[in-house]
C-alpha cells in the first residue's frame, strides 16, 4: 500500500550549494541578527535550516548565507570582512545543504548529517489501515473492472457504483458521484471512500475534491493520472482527500486468502 502524501518521504536528500561564512563564536549573536535582516533564509525557501553550526576549527561557527548562485560577488566580499578564517580555510566556503525540510524522523537524521535543520512533525500523518476495513475494500476492488468505480461508506457499508458512459467525459467516477444519494443533513460525500481500479484523471480528481471524499483507493497508475503525473495531492487546495494506491501483488495475495 502506498499513500500519496502532500510531502516527500524519500530518504534520498536533495541538496543545494550554499555559501557559508566562518566567524568567531563570540561574534555569533550579533552576526546572526545582521544576516537575518540582510539574508533572510525565508526568501530562499531555506527557513528549515538552522543558521549556524560549529566549525571544525577551534571556537568558530559556520553561518549559512544563502544559495551560491544567488549571493553576488559583492555581497560575498562584504561578508568576508566579518569572517574569521583560519590558516587552513577561507572566510567563506561552500557546502551542500538540504534544499527541502525533513518530514519524517528518518529524513531528519539524514538531513542533519549535511546541515542542522529544524523539524516540525507534519499535521498529516500516514493512515494506519484497519485490517477488517481493508478486507472490504479489497472485496469491492475485486468486483470492479476498468470501466467502473464505487463509492463506499465505511460506517454503513453502503456502496454506490458508477459505469463508463458512451460520451468522452462520462467517466465511471463522475457517474458514481452523480448516482450518489445526497441527504439533507449530508454535505456531499463526506466520510466516504472512492474505490477504482484505475487512477483518476485530473478532471475526476478535482470532482472528488469538490465532493469532499475522505479517501481514494486505486490500483493502476495512469500515464497522465491526477496524482502520479499532476501531483494533485501536493497542490495548495482548500481541501484534499487522502490518496492510497493498492499494489497489485498485495491485491493478488489478499484475493488468494
Residue-wise pLDDT for 108-151, tens only, equals 999 999 999 999 999 899 999 899 999 999 999 999 999 999 99
Q: Decide: 37 and 65 in contact? Cβ < 8 Å.
A: no
Each residue's pLDDT tens digit, 185-214: 666 899 999 999 999 999 999 999 999 999
Could you tell me the pTM of the whole model? Answer: 0.74
Confidence of residue 49 (pLDDT cuts 50, 70, 90): very high
Q: CA separation (Å) from 181 to 126, 137, 149, 211, 217? A: 30, 20, 15, 12, 21
Which pLDDT score is estimated for 88?
Answer: 58
Fold of 131-256: Cytidine Deaminase; domain 2 (3.40.140)
Cα-flanking dihedrals φ and ψ of residue 37, to 5°? -85, -40
The separation between the first and the last C-alpha atoms of the chain, rounded to the nearest angstrom, is: 17
3-state helix, strand, coil in the chain (%, to 5): 30, 25, 50
Cα-flanking dihedrals φ and ψ of residue 219, to 5°? -120, -45
Task: Give ranges for CATH 3.40.140.10 in the chain.
Answer: 131-256
Amino acid at each position: 500500500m502506498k499513500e500519496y502524501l502532500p510531502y516527500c518521504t524519500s530518504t534520498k536528500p536533495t541538496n543545494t550549494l550554499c555559501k557559508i561564512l566562518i566567524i568567531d563564536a563570540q561574534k555569533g549573536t550579533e552576526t546572526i541578527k545582521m544576516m537575518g535582516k540582510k539574508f533572510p533564509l525565508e526568501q530562499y525557501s531555506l527557513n528549515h535550516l538552522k543558521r549556524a553550526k560549529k566549525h571544525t576549527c577551534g571556537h568558530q561557527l559556520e553561518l549559512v548565507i544563502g544559495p551560491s548562485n544567488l549571493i553576488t560577488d559583492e555581497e560575498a566580499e562584504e561578508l568576508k570582512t566579518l569572517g574569521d578564517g583560519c590558516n587552513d580555510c577561507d572566510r567563506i566556503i561552500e557546502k551542500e545543504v538540504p534544499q527541502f525540510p525533513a518530514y519524517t524522523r528518518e529524513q531528519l537524521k539524514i538531513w542533519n548529517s549535511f546541515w542542522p535543520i529544524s523539524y516540525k512533525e507534519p499535521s498529516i500523518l500516514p493512515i494506519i489501515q484497519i485490517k477488517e476495513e481493508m478486507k472490504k475494500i479489497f472485496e469491492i476492488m475485486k468486483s470492479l473492472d476498468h470501466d467502473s468505480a464505487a463509492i463506499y461508506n465505511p460506517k454503513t457499508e453502503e456502496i454506490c457504483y458508477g459505469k463508463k458512459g458512451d460520451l468522452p467525459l462520462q467517466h465511471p467516477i463522475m457517474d458514481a458521484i452523480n448516482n450518489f444519494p445526497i441527504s439533507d443533513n449530508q454535505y456531499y460525500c463526506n466520510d466516504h471512500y472512492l474505490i477504482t481500479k484505475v487512477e483518476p484523471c485530473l478532471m475526476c480528481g478535482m470532482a472528488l475534491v469538490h465532493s469532499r471524499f475522505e479517501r481514494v483507493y486505486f490500483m493502476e497508475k495512469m500515464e497522465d493520472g491526477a496524482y502520479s503525473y499532476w501531483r494533485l495531492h501536493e497542490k495548495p487546495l482548500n481541501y484534499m482527500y487522502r490518496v492510497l494506491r493498492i499494489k497489485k501483488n498485495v491485491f493478488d495475495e489478499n484475493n488468494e486468502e
